[in-house]
Structure 1
Amino acid sequence: MGERYEYVPHRLLRRRVRDIASGVEGELMAVISENVSGVGAEHWVELAYVRGPSGREFTTSVGNIESAPGGEAG
């Protein structure tokens, strides 16, 4: 089956982002393409790891990430 995950470059890494789904803002720590296959064909998803205001990281779909106000200034 090969590797279970791989890191993906993203233009907003280490920048302030907002998770559209939850509205939570934080720093984008990593984007990982993760193999979530069961039995049968491989299925990969891209997850964004965001460190929220509490310091804890959460995941969301990469499609839910947008730059937060002031996020591009870095």
Structure 2
Amino acid sequence: MSAERYEYVPHHLLRRRVRDIASGVEGELMAVINENVSDSPLREHWVELAHIRGASGREFTTAAANVVPA
């Protein structure tokens, strides 16, 4: 298994207002991270998660594919 559990991914909407199409919630895209969510050291499973800061100031995550401009 790779020593790194995550890596930052460049995204054209960073620091812009976006909407999560899964929940409909809008906020500012803070980061996109390729994260290893494996439950076994024998098989790696990576997902791209978008970190969005909502109006309350709290961040939530969603699949990066769910992020669209607001």
Matched residues in 2 for 1:46 and 1:28: separation?
A: 13
Q: Which runs of 5+ in 2 are unaligned?
A: none
- Which residue identity lines up with residue 47 of structure 2 in the other structure? V
Equivalent in the alignment of 1:72 = none
Equivalent in the alignment of 2:46 = 44
Give me the TM-score of the superposition, normalised by structure 1: 0.89
- Which residue identity lines up with residue 68 of structure 2 in the other structure? E
Matched residues in 1 for 2:59 and 2:23: separation?
A: 13
Determine which of 51, 57, 69 is the counterpart of 1:55: 57
- Calculate percent identity across the aligned residue pairs: 76
Q: Which runs of 5+ in 1 are unaligned?
A: 69-74
Deviation beyond 3 Å, 4+ runs, structure 1: none
Q: Which has the higher strand share?
A: 2
How much does 1:38 deviate?
1.6
For these two proteins, the number of residue pairs brought into alignment is 68
Q: Secondary structure at the match of 2:10?
A: coil
Equivalent in the alignment of 1:17 = 18
Root mean square deviation of aligned Cα? 0.6
